[in-house]
Structures are given as C-alpha cells and as structure tokens.
Amino acid sequence: MNQSAPLDCRVLIADDTGDTQRLFACILRTAGAKVTISRDGVEAVELALALPVDFADGRRVLSEPYDVILMDMHMPIMNGYEATKQLRAAGYSGPIIALTAHVEEHDRESCLEAGCDEYVTKPIERHELIELVRRHVPGSNTHAAVTSDALN
C-alpha cells in the first residue's frame, strides 16, 4: 500500500464538537479527501441518503455521496446509534465508523450492533485517522473489514 498516496474519497464527519470537526476535516482534507461536516445525527442521515445528480458524459449518474462516514455516537438531537440504525434500515451500505470516547467492551458491541463497520476511540492520531479512512474506501487495495484492534 502506498501510504503517501492522496485519499481520493468523500468523507462525512458527523460530530457535534467543533474542535473535533475542524481537526478531523483539516487532517483528511490535507490528505486529499473531500470532507462534509454534520452537527448531529438527523443531518448526517439526510446528507448520507441524499443521492446527488452528477453529470458525466452528458448522462445523469446517481451514486452514494460518501465513501466513508465517521459517526460520533454521542450527539444531540439524534445520536450516532440511532442515525446508524436509520441509515442501515434505509439500505445505506457504505462504511460507517463509530467514533467515541467510551472505551468499554459493551460500548464497542453497541456500536457494531447498531450497524457500524468499525469502532474507534477518540482521541485518534493523525496517521491512524488517515489509514482508518483509507482502509474503508471502496476500491482501495486496503479496503477490508478490519477491527480497531489493528490500530493498537
């Protein structure tokens, strides 16, 4: 894997903390990703399920708007557990990565049961965040369902 290759993907960061939003967005944008920020679960669901119309070769192409969703599990209005459940119930099949400060085993299980593909605790180092996203980008040579234990 070429770890210095730019991230060529679209990432939705669903997190209610401004500092986390800015930090993760800066890291991922610097690495080459296109980043959208959502402040709560309701907005994250709306953004993730919106199928944009792209014009390629004069045709309309519908596609999922994000390659990876980074989902804070503890947000106001609608938390990440409920947002993830709603996305999965609506047929969203893209990678959703749970981000939480909670480190208990039952927290990990709850995230995975809600439909998240992976569970990662905050804080997360810059290089770990980039490689976490890279592993989950469809079509990447490192795309695989890898647990967060691989980060430790």
Name the residue with higher pLDDT: 52 or 44: 44
pTM, two decimals, is 0.82
pLDDT tens readout for residues 64-123: 579 999 999 999 999 999 999 999 999 999 999 999 887 777 889 999 999 999 999 988
- The contacts of residue 146 (CB under 8 Å, 6+ apart) are 118, 135
Label residue 152 by pLDDT band (50, 70, 90): very low
Tokens linked to 63:
């596609």
Q: What percent of the chain has pLDDT over 90?
A: 65
Return the pLDDT at 92.
Answer: 92
Rg (CA), the chain: 15
Q: What is the DSSP track for 35-104?
A: EEEESSHHHHHHHHH---EEEETTEEEE--S-SEEEEESS-SSS-HHHHHHHHHHTT--S-EEEEES---
Residue 55 has pLDDT above 60, yes or no: no
Q: What percent of the chain has pLDDT over 70?
A: 78
The reply to whether CATH 3.40.50.2300 applies to domain 10-151 is yes
Return the pLDDT at 107.
Answer: 87
Q: Is the dihedral of CA 31, 35, 41, 44 positive or negative?
A: negative
Return the pLDDT at 102.
Answer: 76
* pLDDT (mean) for 5-32: 94
Domain boundaries, the chain: 10-151
Residue 18 has pLDDT above 50, yes or no: yes
HSE of 83, CA atoms in CB hemisphere, 13 A: 31
Residue 62 has pLDDT above 60, yes or no: no
